[in-house]
Amino acid sequence: MTSASQTEREAAEWLARRESGTWSGADQAALDRWIAAATANRIALLRLETVWRKSDLLRDGPEPPASDAVDQAGGRYRAILSPLRRLRRAALGAAMAAAAVAGVILYPSWSPTPAEAYATPVGGFQKLPLADGSRVDLNTDTKLAVSLTASERTIRMEQGEAFFEVAKDRKRPFTVRAGGYRVVAVGTAFAVRMEGEGLDVAVTEGTVRVVREADNVTTLVLAGQTAVADRRGPVVRPAGIDELDATLAWRDGMLVFSESLLGDVVAEFNRYNRRQLRVEPSAAGVRVDGRFKATNLEGFLRLLEQGFGIRAAPAGDDALVLRRS
Amino acid sequence: MQTTEQWFIEQVLPLEGELTRYLLRVLSDKAEMEDLRQEVYVRVYESGTIRQRPATRYFVFAVARNLLIDRLRRQRVVTIDSFANLESLHLRSDEVPADRVLSGRQELARLETALNDLPPKCRAVFGLRKIEGLSQREAARRLGVTESTIEKQTGKAMRLLANSFLGANAEPAPASLPPLGARAR
């Protein structure tokens, strides 16, 4: 067997050549032969490729670089930060600091008995361990009722968003009823968010069935997929790891945006805070990237001001209007 | 349906840091450890059995343990030390932590560390190619080097980032037993 470090070198050469911009069908054929020659080759390639793809996370802004990004003398890489990047950098720093401070979220040690109702206030978050071993995380402004019987486990969601980690029990299906749908799982993990008329279902593990109550039309949603279900029926599409991570960041008390319009960002913040934000047309075109603590409105506003010159002015009780100064 | 490749990427590769520390309990030589780790990966991959999350971990470590034992058996002289270390290879349930999936934030922090640890030239090339999105030719012009230098540095960056990110450079864990000194040959 070729030594591991030799195999790794060869894999890196292949990958680097593939990235180089000159790559022909013959090159691909040669690479395919190299991969087929030994499982170790395939693995070395997978390993490097996986991390190389992940390192896209480091590309922190969509704009082209300003000139002089490289310090010739030292060959050192210096990012010239655009406002957007600065915002994102700052947001990252703030997010990590916030996460460090927030630490562990306390949750009650009792288990609920059947048919009990739970609610979180605006900005609230609750971890709810169920008697069957399942776990529910309630996001902001959420209402649901839990009913566990010998034959079924039912959650009725009235509003809001929750994440379910379902303990396996084939004899007792776990059903979330929300917005005219039943979301049925056996042993799996998924999130349900009620919005307007319909709901969003994001599955991180296993498979769930989304059943429309009206006609029992059933749609399967697999791990790594999300379904948007409204009156017309669910639409299923694949979601990348990054997207699922962003969708579920609220479980860490965070909001994640990727080039989102300020209006959408503000709508998200408004779910978590009493103080409601409005966006004036002058600021509406701004796009926001980054991770924010959902309840840290002050921090978010400060970043908007520093990054984009957007100021928040009071507009009546518990409301602020955002405009570009 | 999950492919073996996806399974390997999602469930096996994240164990690399732990696996590395595990193998280092017996194999003190880095190259030797890397070769054995490669063998573990090959066996695990070729088994072709996609397992669920906790089972994957037990499977990977069971394969690692068997290969380590094979290796010690093949040695003509086995020191008492290596047997003692072998004993420490029993996986107790309390030392197998629950599976953790890194959040995007943790991944980013790890990537940033890995990026900062790259040698300067490598980091410059990575920055231009990956972050600024320049072509190989543009990056070469910007740095005043040949395209082949860029390609070489890119390959190097790939290797260093992977090893750093996956925890392959792990130091041996402070084991309950002293590390193996004189090893049987």
Q: Which residues of A245-257 are buried (b: 16+ CB within 10 A; e: fewer)?
A: bbbbbbbbbbbbb
pTM: 0.47
Q: Is B158 on the interface with A (CB under 8 A)?
A: yes
pLDDT digit string, tens, across residues A217-275:
778 888 888 888 888 888 888 887 777 878 888 888 888 888 888 998 999 999 998 89
Question: What type of residue sits at position A313?
Answer: A
Q: How far apart are CA A229 and CA A235, in angstroms?
A: 6
pLDDT of residue A137: 92
Bridge-partner residues for A237, per DSSP? Answer: A226
Residues of chain A in contact with residue B103, where contact means CB-CB under 8 angstroms, are 245, 249, 252
pLDDT of residue B84: 55
* Chain B interface disruption, residue of A2, A7, A70, A163, most B CBs within 10 A: A70
* B13–A47 C-beta distance less than 8 A: yes
Burial class (CB in 10 A: 0-12, 13-18, 19+), A206: middle
Q: Which A residues, 50 through 79, put their C-beta within 8 Å of a C-beta on chain B?
A: 50-52, 54-60, 64-65, 69-70, 72, 74-77, 79
What distance in Å separates residue B77's CA from the closest CA in chain A? 24
**Could you give the percent of chain A with pLDDT greater than 90?**
27
Q: Does the CA dihedral B139-B144-B149-B154 come out positive or negative?
A: negative
Bridge-partner residues for A287, per DSSP? Answer: A261
What letter would DSSP give residue A274?
A: S
pLDDT of residue A123: 85
Write out the DSSP string of A76-140.
EE-----HHHHHHHHHHHHHHHHHHHH-PPP-----PPSSEEEE--TT--EEEE-TTS-EEEE-T
Burial class (CB in 10 A: 0-12, 13-18, 19+), A302: middle
Average pLDDT over every residue of B143-169: 91
CA distances (Å), origin A173, targets A130, A208, A209, B94: 14, 11, 11, 31
pLDDT of residue B122: 87
pLDDT of residue A1: 64
Q: Using the predicted structure, report yes or no on whether residue B24 has a pLDDT greater than 60.
A: yes
Check if the beta carbon of residue B150 is closer than 8 Å to that of residue B143: yes
* Chain B interface disruption, residue of A18, A19, A225, most B CBs within 10 A: A19
pLDDT of residue B87: 53
Residue of chain A minimizing CA distance to B53:
A205
Q: How far apart are CA A289 and CA A17, in angstroms?
A: 32
**Residue that is written with structure tokens 């319009």 in the block:** A261
* A15–B127 C-beta distance less than 8 A: no
Check if the beta carbon of residue A16 is closer than 8 Å to that of residue B152: yes
pLDDT digit string, tens, across residues A38-58:
999 999 999 999 999 888 877
Burial class (CB in 10 A: 0-12, 13-18, 19+), A214: exposed
Residues of chain B in contact with residue A15, where contact means CB-CB under 8 angstroms, are 155, 158
User: A8: pLDDT confidence band, cut at 50, 70 and 90?
Assistant: very high
* B13–A46 C-beta distance less than 8 A: yes
Of A5, A48, A79, the CB nearest to B162: A48
Q: Using the predicted structure, report yes or no on whether residue A209 has a pLDDT greater than 90.
A: no
Average pLDDT across chain B, whole number: 77
Q: Is A93 on the interface with B (CB under 8 A)?
A: no
Q: How far apart are CA B65 and CA B120, in angstroms?
A: 38
pLDDT of residue B89: 56
Q: Which A residues, 224 through 253, put their C-beta within 8 Å of a C-beta on chain B?
A: 241-242, 245-246, 249, 252
